[in-house]
Amino acid sequence: MRGLLACATLARRAAAASSTGGASTAARRHLAGAAEAAEAELKKTALYDFHVAHGGKMVPFAGWSMPIQYKDTIMDSTLNCRANGSLFDVSHMCGLSLQGSQAIPFLESLVVADVAALKDGTGSLTVFTNDKGGAIDDSVVTKVNDHHVYLVVNAGCRDKDLAHIGAHMEAFQKKGGDVKWHVHDERSLLALQGPLAAPTLQLLTKEDLSKMYFSDFKMIDINGSACFLTRTGYTGEDGFEISVPSENAVDLAKALLEKSEGKVRLTGLGARDSLRLEAGLCLYGNDMEQHITPVEAGLSWAIGKRRKAEGGFLGADVILKQLKEGPKIRRVGIFSQGPPPRSHSEIVSGTGENIGEVTSGGFSPCLKKNIAMGYVKNGLHKAGTEFKVVVRGKQYDAVVTKMPFVPTKYYKAP
């Protein structure tokens, strides 16, 4: 990833040198060639040409060429998602199925969720943990039935997640365990989010979506394609993630945009990040990492009641101890003055003592103010606690606030 970003930087330097005449022809060719090589290394989703045709600004992300925005600004895209709707291509994420009579016990050895307790066709956020209780990745896991689990893992964690799951599966199978897997590389993933998500999607399926609630999962026909549909998302809005055969992905994207009469817009990763931050949702690699436990991340609710009593997952001893005694650090929401704090901005007390660090931050398009998430020492995590954030060497007033920053609008059962 860093190599790809470095090549993108070379491309910008090449463009600058060309415009100023500040580099030799050979140097410009070398820089341009490096940029082309970087682009060639990137994987492309089935909608790549569709993005480019619609003005998508493509950037390297987790080894993929993905749209960060389209013709409108990130702020406008964020606001439109909350007012109308957004369509995201999230095909860089990795969907996989675990199947077999022991698929659930196997998965439960790796995650904190009580998967067995889920009703068929329902899901939950969970966390893959390591032997120290730290987060390997977070994932939405769905119990299709007692012998089939469907889950989606983050693009940037794909290789390590698959290696981790694969190694444990091999050991499980050698002991006679009945489980196998399939990685759904033949499918694309679209996220339809916002108030118009349900009415727009309803025009393309005979399934009654009013009876499908947050975290529900169904295998249904949408626009003539056999799809996996989950009522979930990463924006805080009502919405769906649609796993569709890749050969039908462009047609489905076109149909969703057309049925909304232009109100649902293609939206890039820039607005997706603003939306998830406003919703108080973690970004793996920023707000969750291998040394952060689910308890520290404020995700104790994702640990099933039975799992809290029995353990049985990697790092359970560390996590169960934190549940009993409390963690040393906690994730908090923050409002701040001055320039927006960013990842790694220091958090200090009024006397200048280091008490934590910002992990995500920016300007909220909806609230018109700075918002951030970070970790502080336990005891300093309660709403109303005041401290300072350090941005570009200067201290600015900040205060702990409850999350989500913007109220969520999930469609839940009455």
Residue 263 domain-assigned?
yes
Residue 37: band (very low, low, confident or very high) from pLDDT cuts 50, 70, 90: low
| Owning domain of residue 233 | 1-325
pLDDT tens figures, 340-362: 999 999 999 999 999 999 999 99
Examine the domain organization and report whether 374 and 317 are in the same domain.
no
Q: Residue 335 pLDDT more than 50? A: yes
Examine the domain organization and report whether 45 and 189 are in the same domain.
yes
Boundary-marking domain end, from 292, 325, 358: 325
- What is the phi-psi region of residue 311: left when phi exceeds 0, alpha when psi lies from -120 to 50, beta otherwise? left
As a dihedral over the C-alpha atoms of residue 102, residue 105, residue 110, residue 111, rounded to 10 degrees, the angle is: 120
Residue 372 domain-assigned?
yes
The CATH number covering residue 225 comes to 3.30.1360.120
Chain Cα centroid distance, residue 353: 32
Residue 31 domain-assigned?
yes
Number of CB atoms found within 10 A of residue 22's CB: 11
The CATH number covering residue 338 comes to 2.40.30.110
17 or 368: which carries more pLDDT confidence?
368
Lowest mean pLDDT among 6-10, 113-117, 384-388: 6-10
pLDDT tens figures, 140-177: 999 999 999 999 999 999 999 999 999 999 999 999 99
Q: Is 186 annotated as a binding residue?
A: no
Give, as one character, the DSSP assignment of residue 119: P
Q: Residue 25 pLDDT more than 80? A: no
Examine the domain organization and report whether 166 and 260 are in the same domain.
yes
Residue 9 domain-assigned?
yes
Phi and psi angles of residue 31, each rounded to the nearest 5 degrees, phi first: -65, -45
Average pLDDT over residues 28-50: 73
Give, as one character, the DSSP assignment of residue 192: E
User: Is the bond leading into 404 cis (omega within 30 degrees of zero)?
Assistant: yes
Boundary-marking domain end, from 325, 351, 367: 325
Q: Residue 7 pLDDT more than 60? A: no
Number of CB atoms found within 10 A of residue 19's CB: 8
Residue 55: band (very low, low, confident or very high) from pLDDT cuts 50, 70, 90: very high
pLDDT given for residue 5 in this prediction: 36
Examine the domain organization and report whether 102 and 154 are in the same domain.
yes
- Please state the domain count of the chain: 2
pLDDT tens figures, 249-300: 999 999 999 999 999 999 999 999 999 999 999 999 999 999 999 999 999 9
Examine the domain organization and report whether 42 and 175 are in the same domain.
yes
What percent of the chain has a predicted confidence (pLDDT) above 70? 91
Examine the domain organization and report whether 60 and 143 are in the same domain.
yes
Residue pair 247/262 in contact by the 8 Å Cβ criterion: no
Q: Where are the beta strands (DSSP E) in 172-316?
A: 180-183, 187-193, 217-222, 225-230, 239-245, 264-266
Examine the domain organization and report whether 359 and 346 are in the same domain.
yes
pLDDT tens figures, 368-379: 999 999 999 999
pLDDT tens figures, 205-248: 999 999 999 999 999 999 999 999 999 999 999 999 999 999 99
Examine the domain organization and report whether 285 and 306 are in the same domain.
yes
pLDDT given for residue 40 in this prediction: 72
Mean pLDDT, rounded, of the chain: 93
Examine the domain organization and report whether 263 and 393 are in the same domain.
no
Residue 190 domain-assigned?
yes
Examine the domain organization and report whether 25 and 160 are in the same domain.
yes
Residue 413 domain-assigned?
no
Residue 29: band (very low, low, confident or very high) from pLDDT cuts 50, 70, 90: low
Count Cα neighbours of 359 within 13 Å in the Cβ-side half-sphere: 22
Residue 407 domain-assigned?
no
Residue 4: band (very low, low, confident or very high) from pLDDT cuts 50, 70, 90: very low
What percent of the chain has a predicted confidence (pLDDT) above 90? 90
Boundary-marking domain end, from 281, 309, 325: 325
pLDDT given for residue 39 in this prediction: 67
Residue 409 domain-assigned?
no
pLDDT given for residue 19 in this prediction: 39
Would the pTM of this model clear 0.85, i.e. be above it?
A: yes
Examine the domain organization and report whether 186 and 109 are in the same domain.
yes
pLDDT given for residue 36 in this prediction: 58
pLDDT tens figures, 303-334: 999 999 999 999 999 999 999 999 999 999 99
Examine the domain organization and report whether 320 and 332 are in the same domain.
no
pLDDT given for residue 10 in this prediction: 34
